[in-house]
Amino acid sequence: MQAILKLHSISHSLHRRGFVNFSRLVDVFIRIGFSAAIPGAATIGKNVFFHHGGIGVVFNKKVIIEDGCEIGVHVVLGSGACHLKKNVVVHAGAKIIGSITIGEGSVIAANAVVLSDMPAGCLIAGVPAVIKRTDIDISLHKQRTVNMATKM
């Protein structure tokens, strides 16, 4: 498990148990150590992978990230309760603004600005983001990522 995820799980656990001040202390350590703003109130599932250790990511406290997602560097999930369903891939510099749900297995291209809900299994790109391709299968991408991680 990545260090940033371990620290977030500690912060999230403290926040759920009512130790908000201790949770914020861990959040400050994440901010200093990883240049990332991931509040303890955010919900992050299992097997979420942060590229390059999560450098520069900024999350709103209402964010929900389900299992198996990948988050690139300098990703912003803010200004509302963003919800990433299972196996969503968000590439570097993407911004998801508002209370938006991204469907399972979708891929958000680098530097895309998503302003509305998106369905499952699609490629999302542009400013503002639009659907460029539908019915994509990211299982090949996931297998390649797993292979690269096991080689390290």
Residue 16 inside a domain? The answer is: no
Residue 52 inside a domain? The answer is: yes
- Locate 72 and state its tokens: 């690139």
Task: Please count the structural domains in the chain.
Answer: 1
Q: What is the mean pLDDT of residues 86-91?
A: 95
Predicted pLDDT of residue 138: 74
CATH of the domain at 103: 2.160.10.10
Question: What's the whole-number average pLDDT of the chain?
Answer: 89
d(CA 131, CA 137): 15
Predicted pLDDT of residue 34: 87
Residue 133 has pLDDT above 70, yes or no: yes
Q: Looking at the chain, how many residues does it have?
A: 152
Residue 120 inside a domain? The answer is: yes
Residue 24 inside a domain? The answer is: no
Residue 2 inside a domain? The answer is: no
Q: What is the pTM of this model?
A: 0.84
Q: What are 29-86's pLDDT values in tens digits?
A: 999 988 899 999 999 998 999 998 889 999 999 999 999 999 999 999 988 889 999 9
Scanning the structure block, which residue is given the tokens 């959040």? 27
Residue 20 inside a domain? The answer is: no
Residue 21 inside a domain? The answer is: no
Q: How many C-beta neighbours within 10 Å does residue 68 have? A: 20
Residue 87 inside a domain? The answer is: yes
What is the signed CA dihedral for 128, 75, 124, 152, rounded to 10 degrees?
160
Q: Where in the sequence is the domain holding 107, given as residue range(s)?
A: 46-151
Predicted pLDDT of residue 146: 54
Q: What is the mean pLDDT of residues 138-148?
A: 59
